[in-house]
Amino acid sequence: MTSISAESVSTILVSCKQTRFHIESPNYREVALLRAIADKLIPGIPEETRVSILQQTSISDASAEDLLPPEAQRSSKEGLTVLEDVINKATSRSELEQEISLLSAGVNSADAYGALRALRKLRHQRMQKRLFVLDKDARLRSGARGLQARKALVEHEKAVAQSAALNEQPADEISAETLQAETQEAVDMLADLQLQVGPSRMAGIESRAKKILSGLGFTDAYMAKQADSLSGGWRMRSALATALLQESDILILDEPTNFLDLLGIIWLQRFLQSLEDLPTPPTLILVSHDRDFTSSVCTDLLILKDKNLTYFHGDLPTYEAAQAEKKQYLTRMKEAQDKQRAHMQESRGVSIILPDPPDLRFPGALLSLEKVTFRYPPAKGGGGATTTTSAANPAPPTLQDVTLAVGEGDRVGILGLNGAGKSTLIRVLVGDPAPAGARQTGAVTTHPRLRMSYYSQHAVEGLQSLGRAEPSLTALALLAREAGGALDEGELRGLLGSLGLPGRTASDVPLRKLSGGQLVRCELTRLLWSRPGLLVLDEVTTHLDYETVAALRAALRGWKGAVVLVSHDRWFMRGVVEGAVDDEERRSDAEKEQDGDGDDDEDEGGNLRRRVVYKLAAGKLTVLERGVDEFEEGMERRVKKLMGGG
């Protein structure tokens, strides 16, 4: 392990422009750190550093503007298409056009002093913006840096006052030399600004914006839609496109793979890797729970724990191996055994324990579909739009002749692009009511003693809505209400604690104040208190941090019940469904076997688990013989074509 502890983190961020950072275990504390970097509140980040940030939010209906830096937010206009909006925010085009308009009016004015007045007004506006930044620095910094910041603020306040006086200077007090010099400066500045929004430059930016939006899943028709009409997931992709399009020295991406399918994730991997080929590549700071994604992009780790940052040169597997070696070394030191145990207990991280399912008493498939076809009702035309579907010419089926069986202990994975019908298939599996006018044929059969629980990809948003409707409702109170006396308070607390919601977090903190990851854990307790024999999970990792994803993967890998999983997280899918084990999990399994608590790969009847990964495309469900690898290779080929690689 190499260490550069002599350098401050802020120095690393500013100077090492080819370094990719990954921040492990993202949570609200990381959000605060990322915001501090973006706002340049960390000493050592020069004010002229260009920072582009994609910021996650706990509010599901936040606009894309809320996820962008203030300068991009100020550049927003109403009524723009998605393409126009992304370009406008990424280039601050609105501000540039305002400055051009101001200078152009002055330069073309019949008033001899028009250009000078426009120049001075523009200078004053820029100085006022700079004053705001210096005032922020002076208020937030202390000690020697704070004193220096306050001195800079005082000096700039004097300059702003002088600028205001110049704006009011009578014409007869302006010398001919000053008039000529400032008029020429106004003309030169106008020409420079016009070059920045000139047709040739903007054409190049538009071409790049289209490529980015296309890689993130936008069709030409979607790019032409009104930006303010986008749903939450598409707004997030639009915000990501803006961050990628901006010219920056530091690029901060907070969970950028949320709302992306595997095609979009792999495209983003390749795009971020290609940034290294730029003449001045940006530093990338990435927060993500997607292990495969971070390992392919990042070269370094920043571990934020107990209010301290630890730097590690290497990827996650290397870091975990180093930590394991450290634990083994501590274990061998007999003279410090008590201290070792305490330290190891503190460092053990997140643990999740899933209750075993009940015995079904007699065998049979838990759930099966036989030649199921599902078709949504025709879309209604509105606002002058026409529809191409009718009773004579119905919409194509979302699912067509789908056959699927899930037995005890099975692991079934379902992969597919966004819009392929994965969530529709899940809703058919769990028996959710179909919308009015939908048509479903075929047979759906469930075991008469089956207990099934379903995690919806919209579960967190549902709990947030419930928290807003009942502001005092806690996780413990919600679980007690739903259990209806089947479990006592001690059992409820034990279940909540086993899923990472211990003590007062469960009983005192309202749902509306829980983080996204805590809400996922709350939802899991709602699913597990009844001891289901089948878990159906639709994008369960979206709001979880890396440690919790790893703990949930390990728990599901050894759980006795059956799992049907829809996920774009390749590492999670490989572990839960395919049974893949990485080095850290292998070491953990060895420790459990020594304690007599190891995992096996058999169901309750002693039979080997059935492990299968399916691909859903064009309504058809087909087996992927080589699992996740086969699907990933197909996406790689499509990304290569998207990026012009053949």
**How far is Cα 548 from Cα 500, in angstroms, rounded to an integer?**
9
- Predicted local confidence at residue 383, as pLDDT: 40
What token pair was written down for 631? 């699907």
Q: Provide the 10 A C-beta neighbour count for residue 53.
A: 23
- Are the CB atoms for 340 and 331 separated by under 8 Å? yes
Give the separation between CA 82 and CA 225, rounded to whole angstroms: 6
User: What would the two tokens of residue 36 be?
Assistant: 């501090």
* Distance of alpha carbon 100 from alpha carbon 92, whole angstroms: 13
Contact 53, 254 (CB under 8 A): yes
Pair 313, 1: CB distance under 8 Å: yes
pTM of the model: 0.77
Residue 544 and residue 515: Cα distance in Å, rounded? 9
Buried b (16+ CB within 10 A) or exposed e, 139-165: eebeeeeeeebbeebeebeeebeebee
Residue 385's Cβ-side half-sphere holds a number of Cα atoms within 13 Å equal to 8
**CA-CA distances (angstroms) from residue 352 to 137, 438, 498?**
43, 39, 5
Q: Both tokens of residue 519?
A: 């809400």
Residue type (1 letter), 631:
F
CA-to-CA distance for 155 and 137, rounded, in angstroms? 14
Say if CB 410 and CB 447 are below 8 A apart. no
Contacts of 366 (CB under 8 A, 6+ apart): 360, 406, 407, 408, 410, 446, 447, 450, 452, 533, 534, 562
Coil vs helix vs strand at 457: coil
Q: 476, 521 in Cβ contact below 8 A?
A: no
Greatest pairwise CA separation for the chain in angstroms: 102
CA atoms within 13 A on the CB side of 194: 10
Q: Cα 133 from chain centroid?
A: 29
Tell me the angle at which helices 199-215 and 262-274 cross, rounded to the nearest 10 degrees. Answer: 140
Report the C-alpha gap between 550 and 459 in whole angstroms. Answer: 20
Per the listing, tokens 């704006």 go with 167
pLDDT value for 630: 96
Cβ of 398: how many Cβ atoms within 10 Å? Answer: 22
Give the whole-angstrom CA distance, residue 17 versus residue 577. Answer: 38
Residue 559 corresponds to which amino acid?
W
The secondary element (H helix, E strand) that includes residue 414 is strand 411-415
CA gap 137, 79 in Å, rounded = 35
**Helices and strands (H and E) in the chain: how many:** 25, 15
Residues of the chain with pLDDT under 70: 1-31, 57-78, 327-350, 379-394, 585, 587-607, 645-646
Q: Which of 449, 431, 448 is nearest to 440 (CA)?
A: 431
